[in-house]
């Protein structure tokens, strides 16, 4: 297919060529006639080229005008105006020529007259056809199927009239008149398609009236000039004898007149239309805020401005009582807001400003009069989010009884839209906050998990197993074992006070301290005092860590232990089948942050034999409560241990956990709990 | 749930604590101790109604130890239930905080 640009060029050159050929043949025929030359040339040639010229013109303007995709009415009218101006200047030049040489022979010469008349034909056709195409565009704005059909008929008939004109009917002949009346009727019917006018604003309406009036002047001027030429009686081809041209004139004039009249009558109502359009646009803007990305303040401001312009309010305020309270006042200050809040008369509106409004908005009671020097009318609406009133929108007018039901309905719609938007914003913010919190927790949880050893060190003298569960996603329980020297193991169990992220970080510090101190050859007492000193520097005032430390010497078969505020470990002697608590004096780490701490640290040593067992645990287990509120206690753990003591270590561990779960009976633990079991083999 | 009352009695302030002291309610305990330590020289804490104290609650008492010592304020805790007392004892707090069985005993300790 041909590109649009090519089509425009092609139709342009075709038009120009047709016109030149029309000019040439017509003048040539005239020349033959004047000098009675015997040349056999058909008289139909100029007619054909004129018709071709008109058709080319039509296509040229059709391609050019439809190229501008968006319908901008003012642009279209401007185009008519400009084309008219240029062509009129051209025809004025011709008139000037004739008036200058009015006494000369030149102006009486049929050749000259016809030559200029042909130029005029070109100008008139260009103007008429371009205007016709624009009118078509306007008429077919928001077209219906019927309208398109009607228009196509009109175009076909116009085409028919072009053919009809080839037969050279004279003006006022019967055929001519019938065709003319028929086409004029068509034009009149089509002239009442003026939907586009409704979309013009006040200023644009005035402009279009002006443009069309000026175009009317051009039409009048063309008609006058054409008639002047016609009256000379010397024309070889009179444009006014052509049905096509005359009907085109009539169509253009009809449509112009109807447009001007309708636009004039539409002028007073255009402000209402503009307002409705503005309302629709504001509504759309408010709906747009639903998609998120706007803050509550932005939505509130949009609501306030839209509402004010919708009801022509002189002043207004919008208040939101939320986590971030907000008061926006336009045309008034905050003092006046308080003043008016107190002076509102209707009970319902008073409830609204006091945040006591019922959820169902009572649209008949939102308007109130107010006894205030500046304002006389007030409209107050509550803003609800999820059933709770979170805000107030108040609109004020200087005159009394300024608001009506229709205005209330508009504002209610605005407020509802804004409520949805605010609710959405809040939901999104909550979701983001929640997500952030979860992310932090998951980071902390990962940190905590990575702090606990994955493999517990041991040798063939003992076996060790541990089990730890964190409540609240992140815990502060810690256990670890390292081989300080060959055959000597340092074992720790610790519980960091508090839960959550800070507990996990304190636990990290504990791990650092354990790994740096446990490799030294000092005893457990020195370890605890040094650990307290180190932790005193970095723990917050109300945080502390309880810990039990054991040095297992597999060569001497001794366990040297100390306790820093941690629950005493349970030791089971296989020989006696008896359990005992490894108690010693001791204070939690970080409780006393000076050297006085050292006097409370006690170190004890026991010996073990093959088959003995050491059970370490945290207070999460002994403080565990069943549905009746009873605590598991160290006793519960001890009984459980005795029940499973003959089993393998992993069975013992599982048994201890199972017993605890049975006791809990579905109750959730609100603290971390940790078990570490050591079984000695030799 | 926690319920804390501060009573002005003779030359001391009496803080009554009832219910559970956990991470969130420990803030109230903290406020009460802060208030008392600002005005009184003798503080009596009645823990008869205390059902449970978490490590966060213990942390509150611990955080005031140095402060009270520096200001020369005497504090006595009394009336703890056995399981609550056990929690204090495991941690070793009985060595740093004066703990009495009942109010009379604590008053005589306070006036020593």
Residue A475 is predicted with a pLDDT of 63
- Taking CA atoms, A620 is separated from A283, A605, A637, B88, in Å, by 57, 26, 12, 15
Dig out the tokens for A278 from the structure: 């503005």
Higher pLDDT, A680 or A98: A680
Residue A306 is predicted with a pLDDT of 86
Q: In angstroms, what separates the C-alpha of A608 from chain B's closest C-alpha?
A: 24
Query: Is A497 close to B66, i.e. CB distance below 8 A?
Result: no
**Rounded to whole angstroms, how far apart are CA atoms A31 and A218?**
32
In chain B, what residues touch A587 (CB-CB under 8 Å)?
91-93, 95-96
With an 8 Å Cβ cutoff, the interface of chain B facing chain A consists of: 22-23, 30, 52, 54-56, 58-60, 62-63, 65-66, 83, 87, 90-93, 95-96
**Rounded to whole angstroms, how far apart are CA atoms A629 and A663?**
11
Best residue of A477, A497, A620 to probe chain B, by most B CBs closer than 10 Å: A497
Contact A586/B at CB under 8 A:
yes
Q: In angstroms, what separates the C-alpha of A538 from chain B's closest C-alpha?
A: 14
Q: In angstroms, what separates the C-alpha of A631 from chain B's closest C-alpha?
A: 9
Partners of B3 in beta bridges: B18
Per-residue pLDDT for A637 more than 90? yes
Residue B16 is predicted with a pLDDT of 92
- Taking CA atoms, A16 is separated from A82, A111, A328, in Å, by 20, 21, 66
Partners of B16 in beta bridges: B5, B46
Q: In angstroms, what separates the C-alpha of A455 from chain B's closest C-alpha?
A: 29
Q: In angstroms, what separates the C-alpha of B79 from chain A's closest C-alpha?
A: 20
**Rounded to whole angstroms, how far apart are CA atoms A502 and A553?**
34
- Taking CA atoms, A623 is separated from A406, A480, A544, A631, B92, in Å, by 66, 23, 18, 5, 18
Query: Is A591 close to B91, i.e. CB distance below 8 A?
Result: yes
pLDDT, one tens digit per residue, over B46-74 is: 999 998 888 888 989 998 988 888 888 99
Per-residue pLDDT for A215 more than 70? yes
**Among A492-501, A577-586, B101-110, whose mean pLDDT is lowest?**
A492-501
Facing residue for A497 by CB, picked from B56, B83, B92: B56
**Rounded to whole angstroms, how far apart are CA atoms B61 and A18?**
108
Facing residue for B91 by CB, picked from A588, A623, A671: A588
Q: In angstroms, what separates the C-alpha of B52 from chain A's closest C-alpha?
A: 9
Q: DSSP letter for B6, please.
A: E
Residue A474 is predicted with a pLDDT of 60
pLDDT, one tens digit per residue, over A600-631 is: 899 999 999 999 999 999 988 988 888 888 88
Using an 8 Å Cβ cutoff, are A604 and A562 in contact?
yes
**Rounded to whole angstroms, how far apart are CA atoms A650 and A566?**
24
Query: Is B83 close to A631, i.e. CB distance below 8 A?
Result: yes
Residue A445 is predicted with a pLDDT of 78
Per-residue pLDDT for A230 more than 80? yes
Contact A350/B at CB under 8 A:
no
Q: In angstroms, what separates the C-alpha of B95 from chain A's closest C-alpha?
A: 8
Q: State the pLDDT confidence band at A1, using cuts at 50, 70 and 90.
A: low
Query: Is A585 close to B83, i.e. CB distance below 8 A?
Result: no
Q: State the pLDDT confidence band at A558, using cuts at 50, 70 and 90.
A: very high
Residue A67 is predicted with a pLDDT of 59
Q: State the pLDDT confidence band at A505, using cuts at 50, 70 and 90.
A: confident
**Which pTM does this prediction carry?**
0.54
Neighbours of A342 (CB within 10 A): 10
Q: In angstroms, what separates the C-alpha of A542 from chain B's closest C-alpha?
A: 4
Query: Is A543 close to B59, i.e. CB distance below 8 A?
Result: yes
Neighbours of A313 (CB within 10 A): 25
Provide long-range contacts, Cβ within 8 A and 24+ apart, for A201-208: A201/A270, A201/A274, A202/A267, A202/A270, A202/A271, A202/A274, A204/A73, A204/A74, A205/A263, A205/A266, A205/A267, A205/A270, A206/A267, A207/A74, A207/A77, A208/A73, A208/A74, A208/A77, A208/A259, A208/A263
Residue A349 is predicted with a pLDDT of 80
Which of A:588-617 have CB within 8 Å of B? Answer: 588, 590-593, 600
Contact A624/B at CB under 8 A:
no
Per-residue pLDDT for A346 more than 80? no
Residue A566 is predicted with a pLDDT of 93
- Taking CA atoms, A171 is separated from A229, A230, A242, A245, A640, in Å, by 15, 11, 7, 11, 123
Residue A473 is predicted with a pLDDT of 58
Per-residue pLDDT for A680 more than 90? yes
Using an 8 Å Cβ cutoff, are A530 and B92 in contact?
no
Query: Is A565 close to B92, i.e. CB distance below 8 A?
Result: yes
Higher pLDDT, A134 or A360: A134
Best residue of B53, B62, B67 to probe chain A, by most A CBs closer than 10 Å: B62
In chain A, what residues touch B33 (CB-CB under 8 Å)?
none
> Which SS3 state, helix, strand or coil, does residue A431 take?
helix
3-state per-residue secondary structure call for A178-238: HHHHHHHHHHHHHCCCCHHHHHCCHHHHHHHHHHHHHHHHHHHHHHHHHHHHHHHCCCCCC
Contact A631/B at CB under 8 A:
yes
Residue B78 is predicted with a pLDDT of 93
Best residue of B59, B70, B83, B86 to probe chain A, by most A CBs closer than 10 Å: B59
Query: Is B92 close to A619, i.e. CB distance below 8 A?
Result: no
Shortest CA distance from B63: residue in chain A: A542
In chain B, what residues touch A592 (CB-CB under 8 Å)?
65, 96
**Rounded to whole angstroms, how far apart are CA atoms B52 and A369?**
59
Backbone angles phi, psi at B78, to 5 degrees: -145, 165
Q: Which residues contact A508 (CB under 8 A, 6 or more apart)?
A: A447, A451
pLDDT, one tens digit per residue, over A366-384 is: 888 888 888 888 888 888 8
Higher pLDDT, A69 or A447: A447
Residue A142 is predicted with a pLDDT of 77
Higher pLDDT, A499 or A360: A360
In chain A, what residues touch B96 (CB-CB under 8 Å)?
587, 591-592
Residue A573 is predicted with a pLDDT of 93
**Among A34-38, A66-70, A264-268, whose mean pLDDT is lowest?**
A66-70
- Taking CA atoms, A407 is separated from A229, A633, B62, in Å, by 62, 70, 65
Per-residue pLDDT for A135 more than 70? yes
In chain B, what residues touch A568 (CB-CB under 8 Å)?
90
Backbone angles phi, psi at A400, to 5 degrees: -80, 155
Per-residue pLDDT for A68 more than 60? no
Q: State the pLDDT confidence band at A169, using cuts at 50, 70 and 90.
A: low
- Taking CA atoms, A550 is separated from A213, A488, A510, A543, B27, in Å, by 107, 10, 15, 23, 35
Per-residue pLDDT for A109 more than 90? no
pLDDT, one tens digit per residue, over A383-427 is: 888 888 888 899 998 888 888 888 888 888 888 888 888 888 888
Q: In angstroms, what separates the C-alpha of B10 from chain A's closest C-alpha?
A: 30
Per-residue pLDDT for A69 more than 60? no
Backbone angles phi, psi at A677, to 5 degrees: -120, 135
**ipTM at complex level:** 0.90
Dig out the tokens for A118 from the structure: 């042909």
**Rounded to whole angstroms, how far apart are CA atoms B74 and A272?**
81
Residue A57 is predicted with a pLDDT of 92
pLDDT more than 70, % of chain A: 96
Query: Is B58 close to A497, i.e. CB distance below 8 A?
Result: yes
Shortest CA distance from B23: residue in chain A: A498
């Amino acid at each position: 297919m041909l590109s649009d640009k090519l089509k425009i060029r092609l139709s342009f050159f075709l038009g120009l060529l047709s016109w030149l050929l029309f000019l040439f043949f017509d003048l040539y025929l005239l020349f033959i006639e004047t000098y009675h030359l015997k040349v056999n040339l058909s008289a139909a040639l100029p007619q054909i080229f004129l018709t071709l010229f008109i058709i080319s013109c039509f296509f040229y303007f059709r391609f050019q005008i439809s190229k501008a995709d968006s319908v901008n009415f003012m642009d279209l009218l401007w185009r008519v105006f400009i084309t008219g101006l240029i062509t009129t200047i051209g025809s004025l030049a011709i008139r000037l020529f004739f008036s200058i040489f009015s006494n000369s022979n030149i102006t009486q010469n049929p050749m000259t007259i016809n030559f200029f008349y042909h130029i005029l034909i070109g100008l008139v056709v260009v103007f008429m056809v371009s205007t016709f195409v624009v009118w078509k565009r306007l008429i077919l704005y928001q077209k219906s199927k019927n309208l398109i059909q009607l228009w196509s008929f009109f175009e076909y008939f116009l085409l028919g009239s072009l053919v009809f004109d080839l037969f050279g009917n004279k003006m006022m002949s019967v055929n001519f008149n019938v065709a003319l009346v028929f086409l004029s009727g068509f034009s009149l019917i089509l002239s009442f398609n003026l939907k586009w006018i409704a979309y013009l604003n006040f200023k644009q309406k005035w402009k279009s009236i002006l443009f069309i009036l000026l175009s009317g002047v051009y039409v009048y001027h063309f008609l006058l000039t054409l008639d002047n030429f016609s009256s000379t009686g010397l024309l070889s081809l009179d444009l006014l004898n052509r049905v096509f041209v005359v009907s085109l004139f009539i169509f253009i004039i009809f449509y112009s007149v109807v447009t001007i009249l309708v636009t004039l009558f539409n002028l007073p109502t255009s402000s209402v239309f503009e307002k409705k359009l503005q309302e629709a646009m504001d509504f759309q803007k408010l709906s747009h805020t639903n998609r998120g990305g706007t803050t509550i303040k932005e939505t509130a401001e949009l609501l306030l401005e839209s509402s004010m312009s919708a009801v022509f309010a002189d002043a207004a305020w919008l208040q939101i009582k939320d986590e971030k309270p907000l008061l926006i006042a336009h045309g008034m200050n905050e003092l006046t807001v308080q003043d008016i809040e107190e002076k509102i008369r209707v009970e319902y509106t008073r409830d609204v400003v006091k945040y006591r409004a019922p959820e169902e908005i009572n649209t008949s009671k939102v308007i109130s009069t107010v006894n205030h020097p500046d304002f006389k009318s007030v409209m107050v609406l509550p803003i609800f989010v999820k059933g709770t009133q979170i805000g107030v929108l108040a609109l004020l007018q200087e005159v009394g009884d300024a608001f009506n039901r229709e205005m209330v309905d508009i504002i209610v719609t605005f407020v509802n839209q804004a409520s949805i938007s605010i609710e959405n914003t809040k939901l999104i913010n909550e979701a983001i906050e929640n997500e952030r919190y979860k992310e932090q927790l998951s980071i902390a949880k990962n940190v905590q998990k990575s702090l606990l050893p994955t493999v517990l060190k041991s040798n063939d003298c003992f076996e060790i197993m541990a089990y730890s569960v964190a409540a609240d996603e992140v815990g502060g329980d810690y256990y670890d074992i390292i081989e300080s020297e060959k055959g000597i193991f340092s074992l720790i169990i610790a519980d960091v006070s508090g839960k959550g992220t800070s507990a996990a970080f304190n636990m990290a510090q504990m791990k650092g301290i354990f790994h740096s101190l446990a490799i030294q050859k000092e005893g457990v007492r020195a370890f605890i005092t040094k650990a307290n000193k180190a932790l005193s520097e970095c723990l917050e005032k109300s945080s502390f860590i309880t810990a039990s430390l054991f040095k297992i010497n597999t060569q001497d078969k001794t366990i040297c232990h100390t306790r820093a505020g941690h629950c005493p470990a349970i030791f089971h002697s296989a020989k006696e089948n008896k359990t005992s608590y490894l108690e010693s004096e001791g204070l939690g780490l970080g409780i006393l942050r000076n050297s006085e701490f050292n006097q409370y640290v006690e170190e004890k040593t026991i010996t073990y034999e093959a088959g003995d067992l050491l059970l370490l645990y945290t207070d999460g287990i002994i403080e565990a409560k069943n549905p009746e509120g009873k605590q598991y206690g160290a006793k519960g753990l001890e009984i459980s241990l005795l029940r499973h003591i003959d089993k393998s270590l992993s069975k013992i561990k599982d048994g201890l956990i199972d017993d605890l779960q049975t006791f809990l009976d579905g109750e959730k633990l609100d603290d971390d709990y940790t078990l570490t079991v050591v079984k000695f083999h030799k | 749930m926690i319920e804390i009352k501060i009573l002005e009695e003779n030359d001391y302030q009496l803080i009554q604590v009832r219910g559970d002291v956990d991470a969130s309610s420990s803030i109230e305990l903290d406020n009460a101790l802060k208030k008392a330590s600002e005005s009184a020289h003798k503080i009596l804490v009645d823990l008869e109604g205390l059902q449970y104290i978490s490590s966060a609650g213990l942390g509150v008492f611990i955080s005031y130890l140095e402060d009270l010592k520096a200001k020369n304020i005497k504090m006595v805790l009394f009336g703890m239930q056995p399981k609550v007392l056990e929690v204090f004892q495991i941690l070793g707090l009985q060595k740093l905080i004066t703990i009495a069985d009942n109010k009379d005993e604590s008053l005589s300790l306070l006036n020593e």
